[in-house]
Amino acid sequence: MTSALRFAADATLGKLGRHLRSAGFDTLCRHQSWDDDFFDTIDGERVILTRTRVLKVRFNSRPLVFIRDNDPFQQMKQVVRACDIQWRDVHLFSRCLACNEKLLKADREAVTGLVPAYVWQHHDTFHTCGKCCRIYWAGSHHDRMCRRLSAIFQDERRENP
């Protein structure tokens, strides 16, 4: 698999969708579109992620992973396994967690006054979303997510030598 792997997650998998975006995967989330035809309108190449049996049956001819676990960390492990995602496919924090757009590197001076003073003083690198204008930096969430994603791939290497 490559990082070109794209997903569409139903409304019950919002945290999984954010984890996939954190890992750099293009992931549409059902909660952002209340259209009943959400999965009918998406590209047929996207892997559908669902916990809903009705959707599992309805879209059984399309790429689909039926998520069994409640825990988002375990859900992410299931997707990594099912789609044969390798660590090299991951591009950490390259997408906006809110709207899925690719992030752009932002000049530090350009975010002056737009982030808390403490953050601006202690961080040199910032990214921004060209669509929703959110600003990102490598804070505690970044470190925690890196550890979690790294653990997923370490577990995979131990289980599948």
The predicted model scores a pTM of 0.87
Whether pLDDT at 2 is above 60: no
Share of the chain above pLDDT 70, in %: 90
Per-residue pLDDT reduced to its tens digit, 46-63? 999 999 898 899 999 999
Structure confidence at residue 36 as a pLDDT band (50, 70, 90): low
Last residue of a domain, one of 93, 117, 145: 93
The domain in which residue 82 lies consists of: 6-93
**d(C-alpha 6, C-alpha 3), whole Å:** 8
Q: Same structural domain for residues 64 and 18?
A: yes
φ/ψ of 104, rounded to 5, equals: -115, 145
Please give the structure tokens belonging to residue 4: 């070109």
Whether pLDDT at 41 is above 90: no
Q: Same structural domain for residues 57 and 16?
A: yes
pLDDT of residue 94: 96
Q: Same structural domain for residues 80 and 25?
A: yes
Per-residue pLDDT reduced to its tens digit, 63-121? 999 999 999 999 999 999 999 999 889 999 999 999 999 999 999 999 999 999 999 99
Inside any domain, residue 72: yes
Inside any domain, residue 141: no
- CB-hemisphere CA count at 13 Å for 100? 15
Q: How many domains does the chain have?
A: 2
**d(C-alpha 1, C-alpha 135), whole Å:** 30
Inside any domain, residue 161: no
**d(C-alpha 145, C-alpha 86), whole Å:** 17
